[in-house]
Amino acid sequence: MVNKTLITISFIILSFLHQSAKSQVCQYLVWSDEFNGVGAPVSEKWGFETGAGGWGNNELQNYTSSRENSYVGNGVLTIHAKKFGNQWTSARMVTAGKASWKYGRLDIRAKLPAGRGTWPAIWMMPAKSVYGGWPKSGEIDIMEHVGYNMGVVHGSIHSESFNHIIGTQKSGSINLSNVDSKFYTYSVEWTPQSIKWFVDGSLFYTFNNLNLSYKEWPFDQDFFLILNIAIGGNWGGAQGIDPNLTEAKMEIDYVRVYSNQIPKPAILGPSSVKNNSEVVFSVNQVSNVSYNWEFPLGVEIVDGLNTNIVKVKWGNSSGIVKCTLSSECESVSSNLFSVKTIENPQGEFYRIPIQSSTGELLWKSSSTSGNSLELSSPGPEALKLDYNITSPTKNPFISIILPNYLDFSVFNQISLKIKIVSQTGPNLMRIDLVDKNGNINSTDIFRITDPVNNKHYNIYNYTFTHSQSDSWLLEEISEVRVYLNYGVTGKKGSGSIIIADVMMGPANSFNNFSVAPVSGLPVPISNEFSNQWSVHNANANQISLLHTNGNLKVNFTNLSEISNNEYFSYSFPKPVDITKTTQLNLDLSKDINWPSDIKIELFDINGKSNGNDVFSIQTFYEDINPPLYKYVFGNKGDGGDFLICRVSNIRFSLNKKSSVLPSGIFNINSLNFIVPEINNSVFESKYSNLNFYPNPASNYIKVIMPVAFDQIDVKIFSLSGVLVHNEIISDSNGLLKLPHNLRPGIYIIKAGTGGKIFSNKLKINK
């Protein structure tokens, strides 16, 4: 075991400074290896350059990373060159890619090998050859030795102007005894002005910066350290190799790198932490300094106060970590190190915010050439996007950077509402969850092709999944992006949409709805479904329901005038998307008297309805068989957030007029939602060719129906489809008086009775 002076790293200003310390140059240990382990060198500090081929000097050895040629034990690093037959192996250890320095002091305490033909070296090469290949970017030889001249150690530099190839190399030598049995400390002090060589603190050579060009002084860049034993070569083998030589060892007691300036600390630690978890942060260990750590409020230091390695218990807020190193000479602070908490959503769902608590819009638009994305917020949970896309391949998108990283490994289903408020909408949308590293799951894409354009909110759901092998971190999502009209299939165009209620929840939490089949959605009225029907009476005994296997009998008494306080309703077992099946077909018949008005409204999962979109029946066709009434919902703007894609309730409100008896009974024989038919008249029929005369007419026409009738529902439309007159004819002669406000021209007249519609063109002359 080699005795060594152990370095104690102090984290306060050490007392060893002399009384005149303030006038002295402070010096700090910034990197070291004391080789206190056993086995392989520390991989975080050392790497290996391997291979044979002479290494530019006709050397014989093959460099390996094997423990045969390099190992740590008994407090030293041993580089062991070995001969196997006629072949030599050795080691060439480097800090390249792990540590490099510009200026400072390097101390390497070493014992050198003996034997003619050995060529051990402790030297430095540039981390980046900014001035060109060797020797232009420089070389610093801290110690070189050749076995045929045991008592002499050399130090030198190489540059474009000064190198042994052209006979101008700058070097110095020192005579030492017992270099193969005694440890010496080989050092260089490197400043912008000079490089000085020492052995055990005694200066033996100085190379000064001539301040001419890089050709003389390329030593203003970072250099890394090399430890190796070469065998033979142009210099080491200049007097041959001892044929009896079979091995050579160089032992390194320690490597220590000092700086006369505190190096800027670089914080190592997690960029994301879970709430209330314990984590460790560190900076490089530097001697003769104190460490002052700064953490956000709520972070508790558990261990390592005023040291370079500190353990903390993080709170529940994201924030900045900072470390300042101080000595009597100076203070140097790290860059700000941002740490975000990983939030685990709680409760039923997590809402992606639209606005901050102060009302600031949190979403931003991407800046892409040729595309305009203007954002505004019509409400706290709604985002309006006015877009003009002229370059879809620029992939226009909007996004929000989340305040914390979100763990969506459980809350992995997304739900959002989209309403197209312009005449046309986007042809393609896509929603991405972006993790903290900027990755998305390219195999798991949420696309919305041709979003529904019915001027209502429509809900879209998607469940994200990923395996453990994916690089995408669903448990650390930092951003949500929404693309529209993007890529090669995106279309040019402009418009406006509103995105609202963007939420994340556990898988299937937003799938609590059914989609009405395009073949039709019957609303059940039989006995077995009676518990899904309910009655609301402002006063007792105003409406009662009797369910039979054939129909639903509605008994009403004492109705109020023009009031919605009396109603009955049907509740779906779970909300229904009737986006495609918005036409309601209702078969009604009378037992005893009608109310004056039946209003039918749809209510969504949130209990909201569209007050502008009500099916109102005020004219009852008692003698028509079947008495089928039809209405298409969804064609009128809702003025709010009614969800026609999540209908949960149908309400039937009954009213009466003073001239109508307050009591009666009528039947609901069937109730169906279907895909809207092309012709949405009150009655649907393929019959036509209505006969009437005179045609042209002036004041009266006589309607001739091909079927028996007690009354006729007559409608007169302009050629543009506007209803200009509607009247019920009960005259058995079918006589209709034309209204005086009809101007001369061509009209369409339709007459319905017995579930059939007959039509023809009507010309009016006045």
Residue 345 has φ and ψ, to the nearest 5°, of -55, 140
Dmax of the chain from CA atoms?
Answer: 140
- CA dist 550 → 121, 570, 621, 699, 709 (Å): 104, 17, 20, 46, 27
Q: Give 275's contacts (C-beta < 8 A, 6+ positions apart).
A: 314, 315, 316, 341, 342, 343, 344
According to DSSP, residue 249 is labeled E
Average pLDDT, the chain: 87
**pLDDT value for 616:** 87
DSSP H/E element including 387: strand 382-389
Mean pLDDT across 316-334: 93
Name all contacts of 39-45 with Cβ < 8 Å and 24+ positions apart.
39/67, 39/71, 39/72, 39/73, 40/67, 40/70, 40/71, 40/72, 41/70, 41/71, 41/72, 41/77, 41/93, 44/98, 45/95, 45/98, 45/99
b/e burial code for range 474-489 (CB count within 10 A of at least 16 → b):
bbbbbbbbbbbbbeee
- CA dist 584 → 483, 516, 595, 652, 670 (Å): 36, 12, 20, 13, 10
The length of the chain, given as a count of residues: 766
Q: How confident is the model at residue 258 (pLDDT cuts 50, 70, 90)?
A: very high
CA-to-CA distance for 167 and 169, rounded, in angstroms? 6
Mean pLDDT across 128-146: 96
For residues 143 and 155, the answer to whether their CB atoms sit within 8 Å is yes
Q: Which residue has the tokens 């009775």?
A: 753
CA-to-CA distance for 398 and 391, rounded, in angstroms? 15
Which range has the worst mean pLDDT, 301-315, 390-404, 448-462, 715-729?
715-729
For residues 763 and 701, the answer to whether their CB atoms sit within 8 Å is no
Of 274, 411, 400, 270, residue with least CA distance to 342 = 274
Structure token pair of residue 126: 């540039």
Catalytic annotation, pick one of 59, 144, 251, 343: 144
CA-to-CA distance for 729 and 735, rounded, in angstroms? 7
For residues 60 and 237, the answer to whether their CB atoms sit within 8 Å is yes
Q: Which residue has the tokens 């049907």?
A: 570
| pLDDT tens sequence across 555-577 | 988 776 655 567 899 999 999 99
Q: Which residue has the tokens 């901050």?
A: 356
**∠ at Cα 735 (732, 741), nearest 5°?**
145
Mean pLDDT across 371-383: 90
Is 540's pLDDT higher than 80? no
**pLDDT value for 639:** 66
**pLDDT value for 185:** 98
Mean pLDDT across 734-749: 83
Q: How confident is the model at residue 467 (pLDDT cuts 50, 70, 90)?
A: low
Q: How confident is the model at residue 442 (pLDDT cuts 50, 70, 90)?
A: confident
**pLDDT value for 6:** 35
| pLDDT tens sequence across 689-702 | 677 778 788 888 88
Catalytic annotation, pick one of 34, 44, 139, 216: 139
CA-to-CA distance for 4 and 6, rounded, in angstroms? 6
Q: What proportions of the chain, in percent to the nearest 5, are helix, strand and coil?
A: 0, 45, 50
CA-to-CA distance for 102 and 688, rounded, in angstroms? 98
Q: How confident is the model at residue 468 (pLDDT cuts 50, 70, 90)?
A: low
DSSP H/E element including 379: strand 371-379
Structure token pair of residue 228: 């190796």
| pLDDT tens sequence across 710-725 | 778 888 887 666 788 8
189 is a catalytic site residue: no
330 is a catalytic site residue: no
pTM of this prediction exceeds 0.75: no
**pLDDT value for 683:** 34
DSSP assignment of 745-766, as one string?
EEEEEEEEETTEEEEEEEEE--
Q: How confident is the model at residue 435 (pLDDT cuts 50, 70, 90)?
A: very high
**pLDDT value for 380:** 81
Mean pLDDT across 38-47: 95
Is 31's pLDDT higher than 60? yes
Q: What is the dihedral of CA 289, 290, 296, 301, to 10 degrees?
A: 130
DSSP assignment of 24-64, as one string?
SPP-EEEEEE---SSBSPPTTT-EE--B-S-TTTTB--EE-
